[in-house]
Amino acid sequence: MRPTFLAFQTASRAMAASQANIDVTGNNIANMNTDGYTRQRVDQSSFSNSGFVQRYNTPNTNTGLGVVVSGISQIRDPFLDARFRLQNAETSQYDTLLAGLSDLENVIDEASTEKLQKQLSDFIKQLQTFSGSPSSKDLALVVRTAAQKVTQILNVYSNQINEVRNQQIHDLSKVVIDTDFNATVKGIADLNTQIRNELVHGNTPNELYDQRNILIDKLSGMANIKVTTTPEKVSEDLTIENLNISIYDTSTGKSLGIVQNGSYNTLSAKLNETTNQMEINISSSFGGYYGNVTNYFSGGGSINGYLNLINGNGTYADTSSGSTENSFRGTLYYESSMNTFASNFAKLLNDLNADSSGTAKPLFSASDGSSSITAGNIAISDEWLKDAAFITTTTNTNTGGTGGEGDNITRMINALNADMKFYRDPSNPSSEVMFGGTIHEFVVGVIGELSLDVELHENFADTSSTVLNNLYATRESISGVNLDEEGIQLMAFQKSYNAAARYFNVLDEAVDKIINEMGLVGR
């Protein structure tokens, strides 16, 4: 026969379990709008009175001893967490690229403002007018002014493209890495230490888990990360999970350790003055990582987006074996394109502006005195600036002209409207040809490429954002708090609590019957 008061322990455990469920449900409801909160549940199991030695006893029917609460756990899906963070890296990368390319499009905006194409057309128009009266000093002055406007527009393009690039460099180094990334990995490492201490002391740090998950989600937007856990046996009865995070490059399979338990590695970004490339360096407290780790970030995230914008040189990048130059069409590519246009445009007109003996009379020069002309330094030559009539209007047959009045101006007009080869280095005809066509087609081509890049990455960003939102909704359907669901559970736990209380009353009546009414015969 079982002990008389054994059932009271069963009833007491039932009430305690119901109370725990009510408390956890109330906590879920209270945190329904808390950012990063994960829905919790009570872990409970049946408390059996069976044991090993009972098989030696006389067989009899035993009932359990009720329910036991073993802990409070969070409801999360590790697969959804990993999928969400991978998608977050992709979405952040496209958002970063779209923002940077949009800034470039605002610079080279020929649709809403009259810029390079308008000034080129005006220059050609003034040359045509000048060809009819090549001896007019007034018309020569107008031509020179039109040419000067072309150089000024190219200067503005170059300066503004550099400003966009410098802004990207500042945002990457000072904001994303120095402020966000390094602070985030430090916060995760600190939380790892706090969580470990709580677990060692037998506590369940669910709120600390939530804080850490928020930081991990934030980190996943900066780089493609891989989260792993390793078991640590603290004692015979306690094993805890230590969390590690690494930057993972899906294309190469390389991993770069960032967080290991309570230790973390920090990053720094700087511009290599020799290569003009942005580099990511690591300061390692574990793992033996050191030096340039830029190549580890090609798997996604905002850091990779910034690197593409800053280092991307498109078709101007060195793609030879062993080269690590970035072939994305970023700021360097559009800067190089403008430089190619400026240098070839200047050489074309400088070569045509020879005197009757064939001696060169350059119309354009580098304002900084360098040997090569770029979009940033192209300017009217000092000779042409001093004398508007410096431009050669008429040539003789020895220099390829017809000898007619104003024939050289006509040659310039024809050359500007004709197809030409745009060389990477116009002073070296054997260098790579970057484009073939007219000067207008070159400008239209660059603008078209940028517009297509913006449209393409806008589509990528929209699609990626939609997938991310769907993953977030799916994850929230599991980990988030649903008020209707919690309300139903609250009523169910309230009924179970009332039932456990009623069980106490039944037991009380049974004990009263035993104590006060049994054994009265013979008194």
Q: How confident is the model at residue 111 (pLDDT cuts 50, 70, 90)?
A: low
Domain annotation covers residue 1: no
Domain annotation covers residue 459: no
Enclosing domain of residue 144: 109-159+332-450
Domain identity same for 212 and 150? no
Boundary of a domain, candidates 400, 427, 450: 450
DSSP symbol at 67:
E
Coil, strand, or helix at residue 97?
Answer: helix
Domain identity same for 70 and 151? no
Tell me: the pLDDT tens digits for 169-189?
A: 999 999 999 999 999 999 999
Domain identity same for 179 and 304? yes
Domain identity same for 300 and 344? no
Domain identity same for 251 and 279? yes
What single letter denotes the amino acid at residue 109? Answer: D
**pLDDT greater than 80 at residue 228:** yes
Q: How confident is the model at residue 470 (pLDDT cuts 50, 70, 90)?
A: very high
Domain count, the chain: 3
Query: What is the per-residue DSSP string for 489-507?
Result: HHHHHHHHHHHHHHHHHHH
- The Cα 141–Cα 391 span in angstroms is 10
Domain identity same for 281 and 208? yes
Domain identity same for 239 and 294? yes
Domain identity same for 174 and 285? yes
Give Rg (Cα) of the chain. 38
**pLDDT greater than 70 at residue 113:** no
Domain identity same for 385 and 348? yes
Domain annotation covers residue 370: yes
Domain annotation covers residue 455: no
Q: Determine contact, residues 388/141, Cβ cutoff 8 Å.
A: yes
Backbone angles phi, psi at 336, to 5 degrees: -65, -35
Domain identity same for 446 and 431? yes
Tokens of 100: 């940077």
Domain annotation covers residue 62: yes
- The confidence score (pLDDT) of residue 272 equals 92
- The Cα 126–Cα 412 span in angstroms is 12
Compute the average pLDDT of residues 213-239.
93
Boundary of a domain, candidates 329, 361, 387: 329
Q: How confident is the model at residue 62 (pLDDT cuts 50, 70, 90)?
A: low
> Which distant-in-sequence residues (6+ apart) come within 8 Å of 121 by Cβ?
440
Q: Rounded to two decimals, what is the model's pTM?
A: 0.89
Domain annotation covers residue 466: no
Residues in the chain: 523
Domain identity same for 94 and 243? yes
Mean pLDDT taken over the chain:
89
Domain identity same for 394 and 272? no
Tell me: the pLDDT tens digits for 249-286?
A: 887 888 999 999 999 999 999 999 999 999 999 998 88
Domain annotation covers residue 522: no
**pLDDT greater than 80 at residue 205:** yes
Domain annotation covers residue 458: no
